[in-house]
Amino acid sequence: MSKLALEHFLPYRLNRLSSAVSQQFRAVYGAHHDLTVPEWRVLATLAQFGTMTAKAIGKHSSMHKTKVSRAVRALEERRWLVRRESEQDRREESLSLTAAGLKAYGEIVPRALAFEAGILAALGSHAEPLLEALALMEECFPAD
């Protein structure tokens, strides 16, 4: 029987790296705004696209609907997000950020970009080939 060295198995390494980067990045927005990873993703998605449904947010951010729902509820409790009944489908709600939500997002973005720049700087000349490889992988494994 063949054995698999998990620590060298590409899917495992990608997953482990994703978790590690996500947790380190949480220090960028969590320290000042006490957000969870799903809350940050909902906030960032709405800031990028404006009004969306929870289903569309989940699809864009690759999050399960229960995580999106909890994040939406938490952001609504902070008054960073508002729900409105969808004009197209009364079963769905349109979500958008409030002025307070947009302000928080605006405070986080410069730190987020600095975090990304730090990663790319640490990679040096390997940064561009890595970004190209990621683009190829995203073509091979499109999000649902």
DSSP state of 126: G
Terminal-to-terminal C-alpha distance of the chain: 34
Residues 6+ apart with CB under 8 A from 143: 59, 62
The enclosing domain of 70 has a CATH number of 1.10.10.10
- Asked, for residue 30, whether it belongs to a domain, the answer is yes
In 10 A of CB 87, how many CB atoms?
Answer: 8
**φ and ψ of 83, to 5 deg:** -110, 140
- Asked, for residue 132, whether it belongs to a domain, the answer is yes
Identify whether the C-beta of residue 52 lies closer than 8 Å to the C-beta of residue 45. Answer: yes
- Asked, for residue 118, whether it belongs to a domain, the answer is yes
- Asked, for residue 6, whether it belongs to a domain, the answer is no
Q: Distance (Å, rounded) from C-alpha 22 to C-alpha 3?
A: 30
pLDDT at 88: 72
- Asked, for residue 17, whether it belongs to a domain, the answer is no
Which domain does 39 fall in, by range?
Answer: 22-140
As given in the structure block, the two tokens for residue 136 are 């190829």
Number of folded domains that form the chain: 1
Instruction: Using alpha carbons, select from 16, 6, 7, 28 the residue that is nearest to residue 110.
Output: 28
Identify whether the C-beta of residue 23 lies closer than 8 Å to the C-beta of residue 39. Answer: no
pLDDT at 92: 83
- Asked, for residue 42, whether it belongs to a domain, the answer is yes
pLDDT at 32: 84
Q: Distance (Å, rounded) from C-alpha 85 to C-alpha 90?
A: 6
pLDDT at 89: 73
- Asked, for residue 12, whether it belongs to a domain, the answer is no
Going from the first residue of the chain to its last (144 residues), give the mean pLDDT of each consecutive group of 10, the final group possibly shorter: 93 94 90 91 96 94 94 97 83 93 96 96 97 95 80
Report strand pairing: 81-85 vs 93-97.
antiparallel
